[in-house]
Structure 1
């Protein structure tokens, strides 16, 4: 005994109870079906005067003919002559413009698990079980129709015939034609190469319409298997991967024959649905510029609607302070076209890196600029490093960076400002202090004992340093036989001498040498105030030494300190 029954196509087309014996049964033969890609054009208008769509057809209107077993969820045929009618399943617009309600009756050609499913949405779906869940089928159906089986490829398929009549039961004319959709033909994500759910266009069809990059495997003439993955939410046929798992078909005349089913371990349910139409497929196009952290810097295109065949072409924007780095990971291309290979919302994400500038400046401890700012790095990007070596400056030594300075070396990261300055602070290197002082202050003594020095222009202290200095100390050491006193005129000692030297406004008394603060500041060499002009004067009494011979009265020691005294 065969595992399942085959009936006579001609008899079922009329809804009769006649069936051929298994030994003489003849399955419907697949015909060569022209394949059309929707990118090249949609279903011709001539077929659109009748659309078969039972996805929202009310379950209560469905009429079961012959013997059926209703289990509540699934309704099983109990005879090869069982059929199901969908009264007024659609409206056909005839060539003369008149509209006619059309009935459809589904009859069994080859039973291998076929039943009717009450879908949760209130509609009726055609359903095909598989060998792994044969136990769900009532035993009375198995005893009449046989056990389920699979073909050489492991598929469990049933074959049905759809017959169309006017609502009064009269046949439709030969000019009758229509279009329907077989949708949600799933593949199996766990095994993308396996041919999973199946629809076969066995007889009566004259065209198949699908996207060029469909996820369907064509086997033989008119056989379509879902591959690659599950198509997703069957309630959203125009989004995600669903369009790649959809098939629109056309026919002429009053009937067609089709097969459907699934893998040996997976049942399959389907419905005559809306045919796929590229006019209903639409997506959103965005183009944005982002920084390294993904923050949007600029929106170039904000949600333009695109459809099959739509194109785009973007040029990276010029953004001040940023450098274009290329497209972000996962971005759509700068230039593209919507095809069935990339049916999704498109976002072109142009990635930009902030450019960073690092400068350095040298100052002294008082904030005076020693070296004008110069650029260490310009156009530095995240991850780039900078490093500066404090330059040598005459008479100064590098001390430290200022408290608010950028670091001497570092790496650009998210916290690095766009522009920063390394402030290098220098202190005076007093080891290079250079100053010229008079080596001799000559005196001549008059008959009255008065000491007269050389002209004032000949006595100078000259700062040869590149920084300011001041006289911080002075000492006088007498030379024998002279005695340095506060006032020679009042002295009783022999060889008594008093003298004063220094700047005119603040002479220093040799008997008590002190440099008046602020009076002995010298500006850096080359500047006004870098030279102090000195004078000297004094008196002598009771000189017992022969002054016709040059004689040293005293040694003067000057002490200089960096900077100016207050």
Structure 2
């Protein structure tokens, strides 16, 4: 898994995506924010919304800049949960900022582009940013945003028994120091990455990019998977931390890769009176 950071602590099971796939029941909910637009954001409290554009390129985006710890917002339609009775429910997530070191925000990207305006065809949508260009520097420290997510049903119903998966692709690195990092701080019961990943263990249940960057639209390639971290959870609340090395600027989204997750099967019982989920 790479060279472990001196501060790294990994307290959850780590699975090798070269020989395993995420088990079926987690496939009943996939948290994905790559299709989120500004219309899907509501209930802002403690955030300032402001536009941001990379230079002269077409890469317009909206920033949601936290003005205080405890700032929160709601992101609608981040997944569909199939419960143990086989019923489907739309899922939203309520994001609450626990801590941050600016420049660190959440961002809606309308186009996924590089600073020179070239469309890289990477997933766009909603996610955290750190060290964003044009914002005040983080004073020689890693810019980061630490936040809690609570999953809620769009119809307000209970989330008893909820399980799911999410993931983070295109985690970039370099040869000098760990760069872009995701930490699965709490609420997760598994991390999923290749044994030959271009990632190093970092922080609390986290991994940071090392070796190189990934710049290719094919997110299912071997190299793409070497820059991918999947995460499984049981329960409706979990905490994450996203950061970049000093002087760099990155952004990410929640984007589980379909090829890493098994689909659950269900047997139809009693003429459709009930089903029993069964993992393949």
Q: Deviations over 1:213-265 (max 9, x none)?
A: 110001354120100011113x4211362210001110010111010010011
| Correspondence for 1:179 | 165
2:164 pairs with 1:209: no
Quick check: 2:43–2:73 contact (8 Å CA) kept in 1? yes
Q: Deviations over 1:421-475 (max 9, x none)?
A: xxxxxxxxxxxxxxxxxxxxxxxxxxxxxxxxxxxxxxxxxxxxxxxxxxxxxxx
2:91 pairs with 1:102: yes
Q: Deviations over 1:68-126 (max 9, x none)?
A: 22221223122323212112221100011111111101110111122122313373332
Quick check: 1:181–1:276 contact (8 Å CA) kept in 2? no
| Correspondence for 1:70 | 49
2:104 pairs with 1:117: no
2:214 pairs with 1:231: yes
1:140-539 paired onto structure 2 within 5 Å: 148=138, 154-173=141-160, 175-188=161-174, 192-233=175-216, 235-239=217-221, 241-275=223-257, 277=259
Counterpart Cα distance in 1 of 2:77 and 2:213: 33
User: Offset at 1:156?
Assistant: 2.7
Counterpart Cα distance in 1 of 2:87 and 2:250: 37
Quick check: 2:33–2:255 contact (8 Å CA) kept in 1? yes
Counterpart Cα distance in 2 of 1:276 and 1:187: 24
In structure 1, stretches of 5+ residues that fail to align are 1-28, 137-147, 281-566
Quick check: 1:196–1:227 contact (8 Å CA) kept in 2? yes
The higher radius of gyration belongs to 1
Relative contact order (alpha carbons < 8 A, sep ≥ 6): 1 or 2 greater? 2
User: Offset at 1:149?
Assistant: 5.3
1:11-26 paired onto structure 2 within 5 Å: none
Alignment equivalent of 1:37, drawn from 16, 20, 27? 16
Aligned partner of residue 240 in structure 2, secondary structure = strand
Counterpart Cα distance in 1 of 2:195 and 2:183: 19
Q: After TM superposition, which residue ranges in structure 1, 4 or more long, deviate above 4 angstroms? A: none
| Correspondence for 2:265 | none
Taking a change above 3 Å as real, the CA distance of residues 244 and 31 of structure 1, as seen in their structure-2 partners, is closer
Aligned partner of residue 136 in structure 2, secondary structure = helix
Taking a change above 3 Å as real, the CA distance of residues 253 and 37 of structure 1, as seen in their structure-2 partners, is same
Taking a change above 3 Å as real, the CA distance of residues 186 and 168 of structure 1, as seen in their structure-2 partners, is same
| Correspondence for 1:517 | none
* TM-score scaled by length of structure 2: 0.75
Quick check: 1:128–1:269 contact (8 Å CA) kept in 2? yes
User: Offset at 1:268?
Assistant: 2.1
Quick check: 1:196–1:263 contact (8 Å CA) kept in 2? yes
| Correspondence for 1:56 | 35
Alignment equivalent of 1:129, drawn from 128, 131, 150? 131
In structure 2, stretches of 5+ residues that fail to align are 1-7, 53-62, 112-123, 263-280
Q: Please give the root-mean-square deviation of Cα atoms over the aligned residues, in Å.
A: 2.5
Q: Deviations over 1:303-333 (max 9, x none)?
A: xxxxxxxxxxxxxxxxxxxxxxxxxxxxxxx
Counterpart Cα distance in 2 of 1:42 and 1:84: 32
Taking a change above 3 Å as real, the CA distance of residues 276 and 213 of structure 1, as seen in their structure-2 partners, is farther
| Correspondence for 2:3 | none
Taking a change above 3 Å as real, the CA distance of residues 227 and 86 of structure 1, as seen in their structure-2 partners, is same
Q: Deviations over 1:281-315 (max 9, x none)?
A: xxxxxxxxxxxxxxxxxxxxxxxxxxxxxxxxxxx
Q: How many residues are paired up?
A: 232
